Chain A
Amino acid sequence: MAEKSYRDAIRDAMMEEMDRDPNVLIMGEDIGVYEGTFRITAGMLKKYGPKRVIDTPIAEAGMVGTAVGMAMLGLRPIVEMMTVNFAIVAADQILNHAAKVRYFSGGQVDVPMVIRGPHGAGVQLSAQHSQSFESFYAHFPGLKVVAPGTPADAKGLLKTAIRGRDPVMFLESAALYGMKGEVPDDTNFTVPFGQSRVAREGRDVTIVSYSRMMQMSLLVADKLSKEEGIECEVIDLRTLRPLDMDPVYASVSKTHRAVVVQEQWKPFGAAAEIAASITENVFDELDAPVVRVTGEDVPMPYARNLELLATPHEEHVAAAVKKVMYR
């Protein structure tokens, strides 16, 4: 075990997999010579050379389309988006090609590729570069959607993504890049998809979340425990597709109350899917309606004070917890 940042954990995962498998390569804008806008790819061009660390033009559809072709023929490309927002330029390649080639080929051709990059709000990148896309991509069969909330999960889930058979949207929280945590050194350490974890045990309220909002929920849980004696159980979903709800159902069956926290906008978001699934599966266990905590329904402001107002905050989660407890 070593203490590593979320950023370094991601780089370690990629380099370990590039060492392990010569078919793994990375391409993206400014990832080589410039070493990445968020410095995720620092040192990689030097180590692996321009054949495996490819600086691309500003042409996301072309990058992803190229990667789909590489993957169909046996390579394992990683495409870094400068932010995941830019991937919508390549949406047709992702949704209509990467996600469907196996289906169209009758299972003959896999598309093992990873599209990764900074995602979400919190680092003052304004309306076009702060959006959350997890529910958008998780809507489509054929894709995997990963949203790690710790350095260890970032490393373990990314390695699973690179080794897998599927196109993966790997959504890194831009605001967590500097966060440090214990990360296993073992080069074979991986975290499987579709295994939600109990990040904190508690008896009173289940908080369901992922990525940065999961970290914030843990802070709220500690605070409520100290100040109000309320014990929240925090579930970290880790992957939204596949989505592992069984730990959520087990938890709600214990606490009888659920709060779902997401950074993205409320309508048609991941929290809606989670809340609906809870209601469908453990309706009789609920003692209060499932409450969603979400971002404000506005394009993300650039101004720091307004950005803070537009994203979910600790007080919002605490208020939701008390609401479902009728306190």
Chain B
Amino acid sequence: MSEIIMPKMGDAMTEGKVIRWYKKPGDAVKKGEPVLEIETDKVNLDLEAEADGTLGQLSVNEGEMAPVGGVLALLLGAGETEKPKEKPAADENSRRATDKKDSIKHSTGEYGEAIEMKGPRIDRASAATSAGTPTAAAPGGDGGRRRSSPLARKMARDLGVSLDQVQGSGPSGRIVASDIKGAQGRPAAPSAQTAKPAAQKQLEAKKIRHSAMRRTIAKRLAESTGPIPHFYLTVDYDVTNLLIIRQQLIDISGTKVSVNDFIVRATALALLQHPNINASWGDDAISQHGEVHIGIAVATPEGLITPVVRNADGKSVVDIAAEVRLLADKAKNRKLMPNEYQDSTFTISNLGAWGVEEFTAIINPPNAAILAIGAATRQPVVIDGQIVIRDRMKVTMSCDHRVIDGATGAEFLKSLRQYVEQPLRLMI
């Protein structure tokens, strides 16, 4: 009996991830045959059997991490059986005395697995994967990494293409650069489909477990620039239409509505389409939030606080305006309750009222991003070859690079532009 352990693939490696088991418990394996694929922070590689034998129970399931030196599975020699864990001899005897019905009754859980090990190996192979590895990832899920060339993986990262959506054309289905190029041309990416205005994408709360690479990126970036590695994206939106609509809304509703109230709703709607922005970095996973709660930075004599407009995507501009007014008053009087300033998923800071045209804001943890809204100013711009005067507003998003990559952030700002520049969308 020998152990298959997580190898140390580099000085810095402390743990590795099991990507995929090629063999199931009970399968015969030959020396030199790949048994599983692991992922380190740099490479994916196959671990080969060091001797002929039969694969025993798996200690680490697909998608799970294991420390360097940690046992991944046992490799049983001819005639060897796996010792059931912590199983007194009496149990062994009584189990043998049970009839078939009893053993079916116990066919799940650790006890059941021990019985399974006694059965004929051929039949058990398929059963073992369903019963024995309950947390095994479904194909295409977290553990469903596919064979791919390094260049293809790099291109997929850069272009935001998921390898799961790509059919590999290389040997053994290896995804190569040309496959990524092909996939990029296809309009099949789900995020692109939902880019239609006001498409009500169903959000769901979920965790995307850190891959080894995401971990490394996070660690490196954080080491270089502090706890949150910031980067900044600045865009210039045309708010001429928004200002017109705002005036009309004030005239009709009699409510004081600020530009920022429009921005809050526009941001909330854009976030619906970009769950990867409405997210937080955690030790083990990036959490995408199931709801959109917009924090509004409010200056008070004591300092900054960010009251939260909960579920802002479900509220009208007028509703938001009223709520923000109330929250801001409470903030200034230090009357905010914890539930009124906690749990934001995204934050907006607006210094336009102070005449600041452009600035960068510091991310409000655990948010992954913050918008810094500048003042709308009248600018000469060229439209259809004519110089015309338009109202322009600079918006800078600070992003947590552990969660958001440049292109991801830019996509969000593109979606936001539709709402800001075509504000009727906010009224739908």
Complex interface residues of chain B between 121 and 176 (CB less than 8 A to chain A): 149-154, 169-171, 176
Q: Report whether A284 and B169 are in contact in the complex, using a CB–CB cutoff of 8 Å.
A: no
Query: Which of A163-171, A208-216, A263-271, A285-293 lines the interface with chain B?
Result: A285-293
A286 / chain B contacts, CB cutoff of 8 Å: 149-151
Partner of A284 from B150, B171, B178 at Cβ < 8 Å? B150
A287 to B171, CA, bound (A): 12
Say whether B177 faces chain A, with CB atoms less than 8 Å apart: yes
Q: Report whether B151 and A256 are in contact in the complex, using a CB–CB cutoff of 8 Å.
A: yes
Say whether A104 faces chain B, with CB atoms less than 8 Å apart: no
B178 / chain A contacts, CB cutoff of 8 Å: 326
Number of B interface residues in the complex (CB < 8 A):
14
Q: Report whether B150 and A326 are in contact in the complex, using a CB–CB cutoff of 8 Å.
A: no
Complex interface residues of chain B between 153 and 206 (CB less than 8 A to chain A): 153-154, 169-171, 176-178
A283 / chain B contacts, CB cutoff of 8 Å: 42-43, 150
A256 to B154, CA, bound (A): 12
Question: Known contacts A326-B169, A326-B170: does B176 contact A287 (CB below 8 Å)?
Answer: yes
A287 to B170, CA, bound (A): 10
Q: Report whether A256 and B177 are in contact in the complex, using a CB–CB cutoff of 8 Å.
A: yes
Complex interface residues of chain A between 253 and 302 (CB less than 8 A to chain B): 256, 283-288
Q: Report whether B169 and A287 are in contact in the complex, using a CB–CB cutoff of 8 Å.
A: no
Shortest Cβ distance from residue B321 to the other chain A in the assembled complex, whole angstroms: 49
Q: Report whether B177 and A287 are in contact in the complex, using a CB–CB cutoff of 8 Å.
A: yes
Number of A interface residues in the complex (CB < 8 A):
8
A286 to B174, CA, bound (A): 13
A256 / chain B contacts, CB cutoff of 8 Å: 151, 177
A187 to B261, CA, bound (A): 81
B151 / chain A contacts, CB cutoff of 8 Å: 256, 284-287
B170 / chain A contacts, CB cutoff of 8 Å: 288, 326
Complex interface residues of chain B between 303 and 331 (CB less than 8 A to chain A): none
Q: Which of B151, B154, B171, B176 has the most CB of A within 10 A?
A: B151
A288 to B176, CA, bound (A): 8
Closest to B42 in A: A283
Closest to B169 in A: A326
B150 / chain A contacts, CB cutoff of 8 Å: 283-287
A283 to B171, CA, bound (A): 19
A283 to B152, CA, bound (A): 11
Closest to A289 in B: B149
B169 / chain A contacts, CB cutoff of 8 Å: 326
Closest to B180 in A: A287
A287 / chain B contacts, CB cutoff of 8 Å: 149-152, 176-177
A284 / chain B contacts, CB cutoff of 8 Å: 150-151, 153-154
B153 / chain A contacts, CB cutoff of 8 Å: 284
Partner of A288 from B42, B43, B149 at Cβ < 8 Å? B149
Closest to B43 in A: A283
B171 / chain A contacts, CB cutoff of 8 Å: 326
Shortest Cβ distance from residue B180 to the other chain A in the assembled complex, whole angstroms: 10
Closest to B175 in A: A287
A285 / chain B contacts, CB cutoff of 8 Å: 150-151, 154
Q: Which of A284, A286, A287 has the most CB of B within 10 A?
A: A287
Closest to A326 in B: B170
Closest to A323 in B: B171
Closest to A286 in B: B150
Closest to A282 in B: B150
A288 to B172, CA, bound (A): 13
Chain A 313-327: CB-based contact to B (< 8 A → 1; otherwise 0): 000000000000010
B149 / chain A contacts, CB cutoff of 8 Å: 286-288
A307 to B170, CA, bound (A): 34
Shortest Cβ distance from residue A325 to the other chain B in the assembled complex, whole angstroms: 10
Question: Known contacts A287-B149, A288-B149, A288-B170: does B154 contact A326 (CB below 8 Å)?
Answer: no
B176 / chain A contacts, CB cutoff of 8 Å: 287-288, 326
B152 / chain A contacts, CB cutoff of 8 Å: 287
Closest to B152 in A: A287
Shortest Cβ distance from residue B150 to the other chain A in the assembled complex, whole angstroms: 5
A253 to B178, CA, bound (A): 16
3 smallest CB-CB distances across A and B, nearest first, come from A287-B151, A284-B154, A287-B177
Name 27 interchain pairs, CB-CB below 8 A, sorted by A: A256-B151, A256-B177, A283-B42, A283-B43, A284-B150, A284-B151, A284-B153, A284-B154, A285-B150, A285-B151, A285-B154, A286-B149, A286-B150, A287-B149, A287-B150, A287-B151, A287-B152, A287-B176, A287-B177, A288-B149, A288-B170, A288-B176, A326-B169, A326-B170, A326-B171, A326-B176, A326-B178
> Given A284-B150, A284-B151, A286-B150, 9 more contacts at CB 8 Å?
A283-B150, A284-B154, A285-B154, A287-B152, A288-B170, A288-B176, A326-B170, A326-B176, A326-B178
